[in-house]
Amino acid sequence: MTRIGEAFGGRSKRIERNPPPAMNGSTPVGFEPVRLAELELSDLRLRSFGPAGDVRSYRSARVLVRLHGTPLGTLDIDRRDSEIAPEAVVERARQEFAAAIDAHLRDDGLAPASPGSEAPAGSAEAPGCVRDRREFSVRAPFASIVIGTRERPDSLAATLDALLALEYPRFEIIVVDNANTTDRTRTLLELRYADVPNVRYVREPLPGLAVAHNRGLDEARGEIVAFTDDDVVVDPLWLHELARAFELAGDVACVTGMILPIELETPAQLWLEDWIAHNKGYTRKLFDLGSNRPADKLFPYAAGTFGSGANMAFRTNVLRALGGFDPALGTGSRARGGDDLAGFFSVLAAGHTLAYQPAAIIRHAYRRDAACLRTLMFDYGAALGAFLTKIVVDRPGLLPDIAWRIPFGAAHAVRLRPSGRDGSADGLAAGLAARERVGMLVGPFGYLIERRRRRALRPARGSRRPEPAELALSGLVAQGSPDGRRRE
């Protein structure tokens, strides 16, 4: 699925994989679920994901390959049983990721060799990357983790259990119970986590994920503040890799990480994984308005290319100085999302650097049925429309700059539009594309209504257009103009 919305929002076809099975409405043609797993090459540790207690046989598996915790890539393995032998994956990994494996071993000060023969991470001969993690742990800043939640105690419990298993020395978890209608979330924390001193409960009566995130930001005591959802499982190294990525450059103010699915058990989940680019790749990236400015003509408005709100962290003082998240955006508002996109844009507009760190991994629960997927795609479109509307309302001087880029977004969408020859442009895909386009039209109106309503409910949080942002963006506009001249 490809559209102008993808071009600006960063969601595009995963061209490195085969397209998902064609569908007739919600009925799959030859669909089979995919087993998810990950393999650590240094000791051939294999970890599986999916429904608890599931003993079904899977004909295929999708395996994340890692070396010393660093993700190298994903392999699709054909299997006729529910077991995935590590040895069956290693040879494929050596072939497909040979360059990445050798580069990683050289960086660790090791000779290129069979990665499975290297010393265990805990030995005296630990690889260089493992020693670097240990050294960073000594100086790692105190971190706050914010989870906005609403009436989902079961999935929240799984998220909290994974967070409490993090390999990070000092952190707190702030659970923001947003516009709750029952006491189930409070009861969960009182019964299950009452003796865990670094888990805190906060109630925020005003609805909206951005509002919940702002409340968590107000409560945060950490030097960095990370945000995730109440239906994810974080990798043990997640927070460590997010925090360490702030040292990749001198002015990194925001870090995003990799998002993978928890399961691929339904056609809707497989469709979402293979056609919507939640995973932004396996290479660390830096973005700013200077030397790390990508060649993409849609930058910096294609905020979806930077990451997602389910896996993001900020320097706490910077996010507060930027006014936090716009409460007229986000899930639970009429805008239906876009608060994360606006946050990323604000960081770049203020002259800071944003980093993408693929080693900061979370696994997210995807929608299981086609009806929920249609709602999700409408929300994506509305969020994008609302986000772009916010930019124009807050900074009307950027309207010509955005308008200048629209033809490039349209051309990008046309190039990537499914042709139907691969079975991808079926009824479901076409319907989802239409839903997102409708959302893009509705989003601006939802944002304007919500913006007026929120301002009546609560005073604005600080200045949303600080002077550094204006100065940085004035430089951005100065690099080109709507007259069609090339922008470097």
| Per-residue pLDDT tens over the stretch 389-416 | 999 999 999 888 888 876 666 555 544 4
Element (H, E) at 148: strand 143-149
What sign has the CA pseudo-torsion 225, 226, 229, 233?
Answer: negative
Q: Give the mean model confidence (pLDDT) for residues 221-227.
A: 98
**CATH number for the segment(s) 137-478:** 3.90.550.10
Vertex 425: Cα angle to 423 and 426 (nearest 5): 80
Question: Tell me, what's the pLDDT at 80?
Answer: 62
User: What pLDDT was estimated at residue 430?
Assistant: 66
Provide the pLDDT for residue 115. Answer: 56
Contact indicator for 143, 224 with CB cutoff of 8 Å = yes
Other CB atoms within 10 A of residue 213 CB: 28
Q: Is 95 exposed, middle or buried (0-12, 13-18, 19+ CB in 10 A)?
A: exposed
- pLDDT tens digit sequence for 264-310: 998 889 888 877 767 889 999 999 999 999 988 888 888 778 999 99
Q: d(Cα 63, Cα 238) in Å, to the nearest integer?
A: 18
Under 8 Å between Cβ of 168 and 240: yes
Peptide bond connecting 300 to the previous residue in cis, omega within 30 degrees of 0? yes
Residues whose CB falls within 8 Å of the CB of residue 260, separated by 6 or more in sequence, listed in order: 36, 64, 278, 279, 361, 362, 363, 364
Instruction: Grade residue 46 by pLDDT with cuts at 50, 70 and 90.
Output: confident
- pLDDT of amino acid 219: 97
Q: What is the pLDDT of residue 52?
A: 61
- Measured over all CA atoms, what is the biggest interatomic distance in the chain, rounded to whole angstroms? 64
Task: Report the distance separating Cα 205 and Cα 458, nearest Å.
Answer: 12
Question: Can you list the positions of beta strands (E) in 236-309?
Answer: 252-261, 285-287
| Half-sphere exposure at residue 168, Cβ-oriented, CA atoms within 13 angstroms | 28
Domain with CATH 3.90.550.10 in the chain: 137-478
The pLDDT of residue 15: 32
- Using a pLDDT cut of 90, give the percent of the chain over it: 56
- pLDDT at residue 180 greater than cutoff 90: yes
Measured distance CA(444)–CA(450) in Å, rounded: 10
**SS3 at position 420:** coil
Read off the pLDDT of residues 143-163 as tens digits, 9 standing for 90 and up.
999 999 999 999 999 999 999
By C-alpha distance, which of 376, 342, 372, 333 is closest to 150?
Answer: 333
pTM of the model: 0.86
**What pLDDT score does 302 carry?**
81
Q: State the pLDDT at residue 53.
A: 55
Residues contacting residue 281 through CB under 8 Å, at least 6 positions apart = 356, 358
